Structure formats: C-alpha cells, structure tokens
Amino acid sequence: MKVDLIKRLAMGAFVGCFIVMIIMVLISLQGGPHNVHFSGETIINAFLGSIVVGWGFSITGLIYEREDIAFPLQVSFQMGIGMIILFVIAIYLQWMPINMGLGVIVEWIVIACIFAAVSWFGFYIYYYLVARDLNKKLNGE
C-alpha cells in the first residue's frame, strides 16, 4: 500500500507538472516566446501548484480499487474532487482570471475540463491495454 501511494504521488506530481509546462509553452507560443516573461514567483507557483493538483487527481484514483462502486460514480468522484482541488489552487494562485468576467472563467473551466478528460482517457486506454496484455499472458496466448 505504501509503495502504491508513493507511485501515485510521484505520477501525480509528474503529470501535473507536465501539463502545466505544456500550458506555459502554449502561452509562450501564442504571445511569441520573446514577448513572454514568467517571473520566478510564477514558475515556483506553477511548479508547486501543479504538484498539488496532480496529487489531487492521482490520490482520488484509489477509488478505482473499490469494486463495490459503479464505474461512472468512480469517475465522477475522481474528476469532481480533482477539479475542486484544481479550481481552489487556480483561484489561489490566480491561474483563473476571476476578475476578467464570467466568459473568461467559463472558457478557463471548459479548457481545464478538456485537459482533465484527455488525461483521464489516456490513462484509461493505457491501463486497459496493460490489463488486456496481462489477460493474454494468463490465458497462455
């Protein structure tokens, strides 16, 4: 259990940082790399915030080990808790521009949901393929 928790924390931190770095690169490319200047504080906040958000999504993934809970509820639980953590961190670190009006907030939430869904689907496909390969080995194929 301890090893699994450590693996989940490490994977959550990695994926969280990876996604935030992709977003920072996209921001840089949009404005032109020579026109974007991230301060040290911004980079440190992005690093630490992305780790916390990654942990929120990865630790809640433990819900999938409970076979007595329906799969749609498991997904809803993980995404719900993960998104709440993301929104709290985003407001605290001012990633979400709450002072720019409702339209920008809705756009930010939609983009965050798309990133979360794509990440979740990627992990789902990966673990599905791993399970399929293990089943083939167990069946002697």
Q: What is the mean pLDDT of each run of 10 residues along the chain (141 residues)?
A: 84 90 84 77 91 92 89 92 93 87 89 88 91 88 70
* Predicted structure pTM score: 0.80
The whole-angstrom separation of Cα 46 and Cα 56 is 15
Q: How far apart are CA 87 and CA 101, in angstroms?
A: 16
Q: What is the pLDDT of residue 1?
A: 65
- Residue 86, pLDDT score: 92
CB 90 within 8 A of CB 109: no
- CA distances for 90 relative to 74, 95, 103, 122, angstroms: 24, 5, 16, 23
Sign of torsion, CA 115 118 121 126? negative
